Structure 1
Amino acid sequence: MRMKTLLLVAAAPLSIVAPASARAQATPDAPSTTADTSAREERAEQEAPRRDVVVTAVARGRDRLDTAVSTSQLLASDIDKIAPRSLAEVFRNIPGIRSESSSGEGGANLSIRGLPMATGGGKYLQLQEDGLPVLEYGDIVYGNADLFMRADLNLATIASVRGGSASTFASNAPGGVINLISKTGETEGGAVQLLEGVDYGEHRLDVDYGGRLGDTWRYHFGGFLRYGQGPRRIGYDGNRGGQLKLNLTREFDGGHVRLYGKVLDDQTVGYRPYPVRVTGTDADPHYESLAGFDIAHDALASRYALRALTLDGDNRPSIFDERRGRRSAVYSVGAEAQVTLAGFTVIDRFRYSTIRGRAGGDFPAAVGAANDIAATIAGAGATMRYASGPGAGQPVTRPDLLGEGNGLLAKAVIFNAKLDRLGNIVNDLRGSRVDPIGPGELTATLGLYDSRQSIDTDWLWISRVMEVRGHGDGALIDVFDANGVAETQDGVHGYSGSAFKGNCCRRRHRVDFYTNAPFGSLNYKIGRVSIGASVRYDLGHAQGLIYSADLGDGRVGLVARDMNGDGRISRAEQRVAVVPLDRPAPVDYDWDYVSYSSGINFRVAEPFAVFARYSRGGRTNADRLWFGPSLNTVTGRPTNPTAAVDRVEQAEAGLKYRRDKAHLDLTGFWARTGEKNAQITAPGEFVDRVYRAHGIEAEGGLDLGVFRLSAGGTYTDAKIVADQITPAYVGHVPRRQARFIYQATPELALGPIELGANVVGTTSSFAQDVNQLTLPGFATVGAFATWHLGERLQFSVNSNNLFDTIGFTEAEDPSIPATGIVRARSINGRTTSLALRLLL
């Protein structure tokens, strides 16, 4: 394994002289917008080539109508109109993508075309920056890939490929690829923008600039700084940090060399499922906010619950500041190049990244009336006292008035996870050649992909008791038994996951994943017909150690320890979880599998084409495999030879139409997916099943000059067709899978003013696989208006979720409990911003 790492490092200088991305030349920077109509027409002419060239997850850049894949692109100008508060809100505007944009900046759950979302992250969908994955696995627990990406003025395009060739032109991405493509200085100029939140806490500065340095050099740099409370009321500045990206390109005949770097250090608030009152029935529920806690604008985060005392991964006392929330720290450098050698266009991308951070936030394991929760902790006759806030030390004389009158307490677990090392080394080398063969042209591609992904994380959960109160004013609560003996200490019930059964989950992971993947493709184009096939052979190895009392075998779980140093052991200090550092379990397994894809495209006429494709891909299981029945903790190998890899079969067929003023893509799809997974918010629950999904997706646009419209929708019929653990779920709809999702953006250009809206919606779905509690369908409307005050100055107003719609993306409870309180994650309420942009 060490030799593989050395080979990857050695590839860095090689990538400078022999390779890079066709993407760089196929995607010019997003042009600046000016007030007059001619400028808008010029922008449309410049944007059109980018919309009609496929460059992501394919062998080489090609006209969209000549490819047998489903693709979409969002330009920088499109993203401005969406007014996104996170990347997940951008992804909602890509057809086929199910993006649950309710967790804040990062940590979103993502899926595609009915592929399952049994747990968090984006298991079957890979997120890339400039053609390389940000993380090898998109569903690392507490380390979802979108945590380490930000959209700012550096962004030129977001390109996506759904299904199809993603299986063979990227590892661990059988469902598709979303690629964030940076500006590279092809367009001279830049911008400075100041953004201010009107009804939420956001203060942000964005800058970017690029251009040429002589005839053969060009550059681009940019980034942002921001601080503020964020979209929800938490009582302190939870979003604070920024990003800097830069690149330098040297052009020469037949190619280029590019060096680039990125620094991201950003801390944000992660939003969890929070309590909401639900009446009615499971099939026809009515959700409403609690007194004192607005489900769309509040969070359990509080200015009075900032200090988290625990043991670190080495079992030493450590204090975490909850104001750090989710911290994402990325330092990456890379190189890409393109040259022509012996008739081959050789392209290569290399990147080395150090990635670390922290995930925090209170997850309500149980919510109920204060007296009831207190009784579950300390028995009959339990009493309460404020442990923090203005009333610290005072008894709770009216439990029914806690939380501004809702009378609720939450037994909450701080998902305190230290992301020590999620860095990776990635290299993608490929060469393509076009040769005339008979009456047509044969394009042949050969490539090799290598990566090393580290997963070094510590789970340091803490359990505490707090009132359910909004505006960042929630206090921690101490609970005493009938004899006045404290069951909690400073609001802490246990320095462990004691709010969950079994005091789960004090864990430590030190594992590296090595992936090698040779791949190749052939595409023959004869007249209006293109026939292609591609194959990829993924092989790899996981090696390292994991530590946890959850592994059994006599490993120590709880100990008594004086956490606050007062010389006494309280009852809470008898529930201190430790990592059994002297008894690790090995992780030591290999995998290999073949992916393939074949398609045919027929360009019926210049503006119209039809295509069909069949693909079979795979996804290696990473850290979600370790603590379930699929891993032998003595040998470190899977208990089932097939457990290391989940397979995805897909078929699709569709049509594409392009004219100057209109376009339409219509695609039917079918998929069958096997999955093994673990539920993190329900410790001890595992998934081993097969899913089937089929449906149709549509995307189109209309440009009449004064009026423009882009829209898309996806209909999906998904079912669980086999379940090894819970056979009763067979025939059920997978949790949170809606039948229909859609988006539309109409725009008007009225002289110097542009107006429009962004509508995103979903029909209802089931909260859990048991198919009882329904999550109602909803639609949000975002409005935008831009006033061009001159050729270089523009003022804009954007309102995300203009009508303050309440919409739920998930719920932890399978049905309405007797208390009527459900823990559900809601989208954010209305957030309105003002922005002033100066074009440079």
Structure 2
Amino acid sequence: MKYLLATAAIAPLLMFSSATAAALSAEAADGAKPAAEKAVQSAGGKASGEAVFSTGVAKGRDRLDSATSTSALRASEFETYGARSLGEVLRNIPGIRAEYAIGEGNANYSIRGLPLSGAGSKYVQLQEEGLPVLEFGDMYQFTPDMFMRADLNLSQIETIRGGSASTFASNSPGGVINLISKTGDTEGGAVQGTYGLNYGEKRLDGDYGGKISDTLRFHVGGFYRQGEGPRDVGYTAYKGGQIKANLTKTFSNGYVRVYGKYLNDRTPNFQFVPIKVSGTNADPTFSALANFNPKTDSLLSRYTTNILKLDENNNLAQDDARGGQHAVVKSVGLDAQFDVNGWTITEKFRFSDVGGSNLTIRPIAVNQAAVLAVANGGAGSTLSFATGPQAGQAISSPATLNGNGLLTSSLQFDTKIKSLNNVTNDIRASRVWDINGGALTTTAGFYASSQDYATDLTFLNVLASVAGEGQATLINTRTAAGVPYTQDGYASYGLGNTFRRNYDMNYGVNAPYASINYHIGKIAVGGSLRYDMGKVRGTLFGAELGGGRPGTTSFDMNRDGVISTAETKVSYLPLGQPGHVDYDYKYLSYSTGVNYRIAEQLAVFGRYSRGGRASADKILFTPAVNYSTGKLVDDESAYDTVKQAELGLKYRISGLTFNVTGFSAKTGERNVQIVSGADGTAQVLNIVRSYEAKGVELEATVRKGPFSVNAGATYTDAKIASDALRPQLVGNTPRHQADFIYSVTPQIELKHVTFGANVIGTTSSFAQDANQLKLPGYKLVNAFVQVRPAERVELMLNVNNLFNQLALIDSEQPAIPATGVILGRAFLGRTASATLRYSF
């Protein structure tokens, strides 16, 4: 509450100060530094004196000279937090909403005020070395964070919220999150081992960098880990690692860097689980079921992971969900910058070969075992174990099964990557002109990318028990007459005419952009433009495309010569009836504002931006496309826009940094959302709506002697402004949007020991857009201690969720169901790890 009062008190002063500066752009020039010094800084070397920020802007510059809301999180900072995934790192950056209970990949990210109606990071671009990991942040089943890892290679993470992110990157109107690697400017490295004290994981990290000569340096690093992980699944769910390397050659007028990455890592996909709920929608109480703890358990187990399906050629195939989220990335890149005749030329290029798969089990309905038995076999049906130690045995007492008497109707997800390959190039030229005693910076650039989205997707329907500690099993049913209704736990080998899909798509993006900025004395004004031109080409297969395409067939899946009931419901691809996609789109983005540096320590800014986001795969298999011609039915379906206004204040003196930004955002959206229907089964909704949001964002750092504290908070007032398909939702608060989110990290650093806590929290939010069931607010405390018993030796202890709180981030159900059980997702319970590091 004290942070909310502080931001509320500052906001009127902020708006008054910034309004007097007008709504122009502020891409401030960084001055006429020697070319060699600028080259070293841009190449990842140490900046001399200024807090240089380079992500999402025309040129790297001091943050107090830029009309943008930015943050830079150094690796040394987030190492203390005990963050074990990228989502756990990003949750500490002000203005970023991170929902990462799913694990390392396919988490949800958004920037202040922008909605999380679907999955992934629709309005936010995740980058490495200034280029996108994937062109789109919310491709179905595969999002950028699945293909990137935080390890000892990282130097820092830069983020820009709103502002010029709209014009200096494509498909990123909300902001950009950029992971920047070390480049060997500091000689040395480290090796460390991490051990899960109360969960199964062992991990080894290492890195080293330094000079080869006066003009040549390198850095290399990576990790490998293995173990069951923090949830009880009964098998090795985490296995793999990453290696990254770069080589930098500096010249008198610039540098050239080549870099590469190989990632081959397997992590589990933790989906929704049954959670007990009581009380009222406005004041619910959530708790664990008998024999199932949502903080430590999952429906994943070695007894639920065998997958039997038809492949993309309609041939019998087998898979194993223990493969989880399997990310395989092989990439090479080039980063160069030179000063030529007064111009600074910057070139960034990367090719990434991206493959892998995403396999898991996801419940779509939960109920008493006897109820689901009737739904899957009729009155008088009986149950038996299909897999596990008791396979084949009858379940004589369904009401006491596993102590909770529950079954789930679940989906086995099996999505294979044929190609997520992408090629990206960004070239720009900037020049600073001396005009009437001021610096006029002009920048022009061209961005080009090619992004594949070629995947094969299968959903299969199974019955599964609700048992903790990796003991969930598949369940069979028989009719009252003794006829098998399921086969080996499968109610059907698909979902009829839905979600048996094959994509073979390519998205091409060409985007010229330019900015002009004038800096004189204390004021800097300017603006930037970007014109995105997209080409979408591809072929789709699936019965959902309509036109009489069949989606099910009979197939002898277990090769016993008999077609069972379940085997009459096998999804397959109508390979002779492809759907075509062939359309172009164009949109303009712009950003304009002003920055006024009142004093060396103080600056205010104002900015207005409009950015676009291509709809990409989210409009495929919807009525937005005519699949005979490949053209859009409505050209407006091709992209969504985000309009944002910002008014900010930045203050920096020795030992204190304080930034506050007031914001207003209007967002258009076409998306796909999965919710629970009235009968408890999952429904897929098409979304065509707009949102409005306003609020205040706060960031502060205080350092005095051995004590420091980093804090961030965001207050947001958001609503659904229009909805073409469900107008009854207009005026409601978007789902998962809390009024207030925050993080605070106090710590004390002494000669031989550092200790402190990282606290993250949020107020309550609504589970779904209907605004009925509330998800309670939470406060999670993560404690850390670092001991340095000898030179270059460090022992670190991290305890996440110290007080073992049950913190929910999601519920499929919009209201408390009659069963008193929802399908939800919760953050992990208490986990502790120890790390021993040796630096050299």
Q: Structure 2 length as normaliser, TM-score?
A: 0.94
Partner of 2:504: 510
CA distance in 2, matches of 1:658, 1:142: 42
1:648 aligned residue (642, 663, 674): 642
Task: Supply the RMSD in Å over aligned alpha carbons.
Answer: 1.5
- Superposed counterparts of 1:35-50, under 5 Å: none
Q: Which is worse superposed, 216-225 or 411-420? A: 411-420
CA distance in 2, matches of 1:684, 1:121: 16
2:660 aligned residue (638, 662, 666): 666
Q: Does 1:434 align with 2:438?
A: no
Q: Which amino acid is the alignment partner of residue 616 of structure 1?
A: R
Partner of 1:128: 127
Partner of 1:87: 86
1:21 Cα deviation (Å)?
13
CA distance in 2, matches of 1:238, 1:661: 44
SS of the equivalent of 1:147 reads helix
Per-residue CA distance 1:381-417 (angstroms, 9 max, x = gap): 01011111111111001112222x0010011001211
Does the CA-based 8 Å contact 2:322-2:359 persist in structure 1? no
Q: Does 1:558 align with 2:555?
A: no
- Superposed counterparts of 1:310-349, under 5 Å: 310-349=309-348
SS of the equivalent of 1:187 reads coil
2:532 aligned residue (535, 538, 542): 538
Partner of 1:820: 820
Partner of 1:418: 416
CA distance in 2, matches of 1:301, 1:261: 34
1:439 Cα deviation (Å)?
2.1
1:609 Cα deviation (Å)?
0.3
Partner of 1:591: 585
SS of the equivalent of 2:577 reads coil
- Superposed counterparts of 1:438-587, under 5 Å: 438-497=436-495, 502=496, 504-587=498-581
CA distance in 2, matches of 1:645, 1:534: 20
1:636 Cα deviation (Å)?
1.6
1:627 aligned residue (600, 612, 621): 621
Partner of 1:352: 351
Partner of 2:372: 373
1:28 Cα deviation (Å)?
4.7
Per-residue CA distance 1:508-560 (angstroms, 9 max, x = gap): 00010000000000110010100020000000110011111111111011100
Per-residue CA distance 1:164-184 (angstroms, 9 max, x = gap): 000000000000000000000
Q: Which amino acid is the alignment partner of residue 474 of structure 2?
A: L
Partner of 2:791: 791
Q: Which amino acid is the alignment partner of residue 342 of structure 2?
A: G
Does the CA-based 8 Å contact 1:248-1:260 persist in structure 2? yes
Partner of 1:391: 390
Partner of 2:611: 617
1:683 Cα deviation (Å)?
4.5
1:342 Cα deviation (Å)?
2.2
1:634 Cα deviation (Å)?
2.1
Does the CA-based 8 Å contact 2:667-2:690 persist in structure 1? yes
Does the CA-based 8 Å contact 2:321-2:361 persist in structure 1? no
1:76 Cα deviation (Å)?
0.6
Does the CA-based 8 Å contact 1:628-1:678 persist in structure 2? no
1:789 Cα deviation (Å)?
1.6
Unaligned ranges ≥5, structure 1: 1-18, 30-45
CA distance in 2, matches of 1:479, 1:532: 69
CA distance in 2, matches of 1:650, 1:683: 32
CA distance in 1, matches of 2:114, 2:38: 30
- Superposed counterparts of 1:68-87, under 5 Å: 68-87=67-86
- Superposed counterparts of 1:118-267, under 5 Å: 118-267=117-266
1:49 Cα deviation (Å)?
5.2
Per-residue CA distance 1:11-54 (angstroms, 9 max, x = gap): xxxxxxxx99979724757xxxxxxxxxxxxxxxx79957x221
Does the CA-based 8 Å contact 2:189-2:206 persist in structure 1? yes
Q: Which amino acid is the alignment partner of residue 251 of structure 1?
A: T
CA distance in 2, matches of 1:708, 1:124: 33
Q: What's the % identity of the aligned pairs? A: 49
Q: Which amino acid is the alignment partner of residue 169 of structure 1?
A: F
Q: Which amino acid is the alignment partner of residue 576 of structure 1?
A: V
Partner of 2:14: none
Partner of 1:25: 41
Partner of 2:696: 696
Partner of 1:636: 630
Per-residue CA distance 1:589-614 (angstroms, 9 max, x = gap): 11101100001000000000000000
Does the CA-based 8 Å contact 2:36-2:251 persist in structure 1? no
Q: Which amino acid is the alignment partner of residue 783 of structure 1?
A: A
CA distance in 2, matches of 1:584, 1:118: 30
CA distance in 1, matches of 2:448, 2:38: 19
Q: Which amino acid is the alignment partner of residue 839 of structure 2?
A: L
Shift in alpha-carbon separation, 1:75–1:324, aligned structure 2, 3 A: same
Per-residue CA distance 1:367-387 (angstroms, 9 max, x = gap): 010000111010100101111
Per-residue CA distance 1:431-477 (angstroms, 9 max, x = gap): 11001001211000000000000000111111111100010011111
Partner of 1:101: 100
CA distance in 2, matches of 1:807, 1:423: 36
SS of the equivalent of 2:293 reads coil
Q: Which amino acid is the alignment partner of residue 827 of structure 2?
A: I
CA distance in 2, matches of 1:759, 1:513: 41
CA distance in 2, matches of 1:246, 1:435: 37
Q: Which amino acid is the alignment partner of residue 726 of structure 1?
A: R
Q: Which amino acid is the alignment partner of residue 760 of structure 1?
A: I
Q: Which amino acid is the alignment partner of residue 25 of structure 1?
A: Q
Partner of 1:114: 113
CA distance in 2, matches of 1:437, 1:780: 53
Shift in alpha-carbon separation, 1:183–1:26, aligned structure 2, 3 A: same
- Superposed counterparts of 1:685-764, under 5 Å: 685-764=685-764
Per-residue CA distance 1:688-709 (angstroms, 9 max, x = gap): 0010000000000000121000
CA distance in 1, matches of 2:411, 2:49: 50
1:629 Cα deviation (Å)?
2.4
Per-residue CA distance 1:693-743 (angstroms, 9 max, x = gap): 000000000001210000010000000111100000000000111100000
Shift in alpha-carbon separation, 1:20–1:351, aligned structure 2, 3 A: farther
Does the CA-based 8 Å contact 2:204-2:223 persist in structure 1? yes
Q: Which amino acid is the alignment partner of residue 70 of structure 1?
A: S
Does the CA-based 8 Å contact 1:23-1:61 persist in structure 2? no
1:746 Cα deviation (Å)?
0.3
CA distance in 2, matches of 1:818, 1:683: 19
Does the CA-based 8 Å contact 1:20-1:346 persist in structure 2? no
SS of the equivalent of 1:327 reads strand
CA distance in 2, matches of 1:26, 1:205: 30
Does the CA-based 8 Å contact 2:166-2:590 persist in structure 1? yes
Per-residue CA distance 1:640-691 (angstroms, 9 max, x = gap): 1111010110000010000110010000000001111112565441100010
CA distance in 1, matches of 2:126, 2:113: 18
Does the CA-based 8 Å contact 1:23-1:55 persist in structure 2? no
Does the CA-based 8 Å contact 1:226-1:241 persist in structure 2? yes
SS of the equivalent of 1:361 reads strand
Partner of 1:63: 62
Per-residue CA distance 1:200-249 (angstroms, 9 max, x = gap): 11100001000000111100000000001111110011010000000011
Unaligned ranges ≥5, structure 2: 1-34, 676-681
CA distance in 2, matches of 1:660, 1:684: 53
Q: Which amino acid is the alignment partner of residue 238 of structure 1?
A: A
1:306 Cα deviation (Å)?
2.6
CA distance in 2, matches of 1:275, 1:684: 20
